[in-house]
Amino acid sequence: MNLEVQGKAFRPRYAISLRLTLILIFMVVGMLPVLIQGQVMAGSYRQNLIGSRMQEVQNQCWILSNKMTRAGYLTMEPRDALLDNEMAVKAGMFNGRIVVVNRNFRIISDTFSLSVGKINVSEEVIRCFNGENSSKYNSEKHYSAMAIPIYSNSQEKEIAGVMIATASTEDLLDRISDVTEKGMFLHLMIFSTLALLVFFLAALIMKPFRGLQRMLDRAAEGNLDEDISSRAYKETRQISDSINLTLKKLKAVDQSREEFVSNVSHELKTPITSIRVLADSLMGMEDAPTELYREFMSDISYEIERESKIIDDLLTLVRMDKTSGGNLNIAQVNINGLMELILKRLRPIAGKRNVELTFESIREVTADVDEMKLSLALSNLMENAIKYNVEGGWVRVTLDADHKFFYVKVADSGIGIPEEFQEHVFERFYRVDKARSRETGGTGLGLSITKKIVLMHQGAIKLQSKEGEGSTFTVRIPLTYIS
């Protein structure tokens, strides 16, 4: 078993470290909400500040507009110096500008003293004269502008003028920038603290996995008897159980391979030993009678034939192991006709043992199969049923099908198989009764070949048996082969 290669399979050459993955996950999960929250809070804070500033400017302008209405500011000559002074103070408070436009769209007052006497026919002014108050914020130049109506002090309360007020938000942006810098510092502190916490958490989480890796390294060096166990987490427990199961199967395969080689050596050596004994006996005899020579040569021929059959069966298994179903010659075959041919070939063998061989075909069946291989598999089952039967017994073969599968049942009145041996009968060279198997000429490979062929056809084989009462093998194979 190539343990070194198998051990390396647990450590890919190019792979992301689990610790790094955990750190990245924790950082993303931990920091992303903080950063998003910070951005949302900064945006909300900025919007609230600007909204509060615009509301405050609007309130102050309404107060000033009401004073101008009561004083008749738009019609008085000269202008009220106190109102002009208050207007300049309010504009200075907001680092802005206030302009008053009369009904003729002429500017009669300007806190910057730049546009007095000029005409202002802007959209905001016209809309305000029409009774629509307007306010807007210019995010590029960082100022807010609004138009407030000034009413006449007559009974009709007509709009006699418009106050246009602009207020800078540069100071607010400076305040927001200062808060943002402090927020970034706070984020940096949170990030650093979280990074340290994540590093220690990752090391703690990874500890069981490092222990598991050490055990796998020892297993890769060939120590397969040590139990790999890590019960810290549900995941490590599942991984440990899976690895232990895999190693158990690997050891079983390795042991099976060793047993197979040993069995092959034994099975091939037995006929050769018999042949050698017979040949040595013949050579040691002087003037042996012809009948004795003929008897010994007949035994030698039998042993050679048995050796040849073992080799043929071994070659069949090897070829099927190599192809694993990829070398099937699939064609549509009439299964009823195939069964009749197999039974015709086996009836002489059944007749010699005085075994009644019957066939029941419940329906006509056509399926996609490899005719030669399936014939070999079914022949093995029927021949075993005849050979391991009692004198005067019976073998009943039944063929049936449904919409997906066809079924072949081979039942006999033979010696049966004890329950403790039934799970091993498909193993190579396994014999329930070794002496009887050799008497009947069995190689111990027939059922292994049968099961392999059935599996190659994507089918299944099932055994039901009771010692002294016979056995029943049931084969199920799909009607349509899907490669």
Sketch the domain layout of the chain as residue ranges. Answer: 72-169, 234-319, 325-478
DSSP code per residue over 382-448: HHHHHHTS-TT-EEEEEEEE-SSEEEEEEEE-S----GGGGGGTTSTT--SSHHHHHHTT--S-HHH
pLDDT the model gives residue 332? 94
User: Does the structure show a pLDDT above 60 at 360?
Assistant: yes
Hey, is 196 helix, strand or coil? helix
Q: What pLDDT does 437 receive?
A: 45
DSSP state, residue 145:
E
pLDDT, position 267: 60
Give the pLDDT of residue 8: 43
The CATH topology of domain 72-169 is Beta-Lactamase (3.30.450)
Is the predicted pLDDT of residue 9 greater than 70, yes or no?
Answer: no
Among 62-71, 220-229, 255-264, 299-308, the range with the most confident prediction by mean pLDDT is 62-71
Single-letter code of the amino acid located at 350: A
Long-range (24+ apart) CB contacts under 8 A made by 290-296 are none
Q: How many CA atoms lie within 13 A of 342 on its CB side?
A: 26
**pLDDT band at residue 248, thresholds of 50, 70 and 90?**
confident
Please calculate the CA angle 379-385-387 and round it to the nearest 5 degrees: 95
Specify whether the CB–CB gap between 330 and 481 falls below 8 A: yes
Residues 84, 109 contacting (CB under 8 angstroms) = yes
The answer to whether 342 touches 378, Cβ cutoff 8 Å, is: yes
Round to whole Å and give the CA distance between 455 and 451: 6
> What pLDDT score was predicted for residue 466?
86
CA distance 450 to 9: 34
Asked whether the predicted pLDDT for residue 252 surpasses 80, the reply is no
Instruction: Tell me the average pLDDT across 276-282.
Output: 78
Q: What is the average per-residue pLDDT within 333-350? A: 91
Closest CA to 107 of 124, 123, 119: 119
- Region label for 357, one of left (φ > 0), alpha (ψ between -120 and 50) or beta (otherwise): beta
Give the pLDDT band of residue 321 (cuts 50, 70, 90): low
Considering the entire predicted model, what is its pTM?
Answer: 0.46
Q: What is the pLDDT of residue 278?
A: 76
234-319 has which CATH code? 1.10.287.130
Collapsed DSSP state (helix, strand, coil) of residue 458? coil
Domain 325-478 listed as CATH 3.30.565.10 = yes
* Per-residue pLDDT reduced to its tens digit, 254-270: 776 776 666 566 566 66
The predicted pLDDT at position 337 comes to 93
Count how many residues are written for the chain: 483
| Domains 72-169 and 325-478 in one fold | no
pLDDT at 479 over 90: yes
Phi-psi region of 83 (alpha: psi -120 to 50; beta: other; left: phi over 0): alpha
Judged against a pLDDT cut of 70, whether residue 439 lies above it is answered with no
* Cα distance between the two ends of the chain: 30
Question: Quick one: pLDDT at residue 394?
Answer: 94
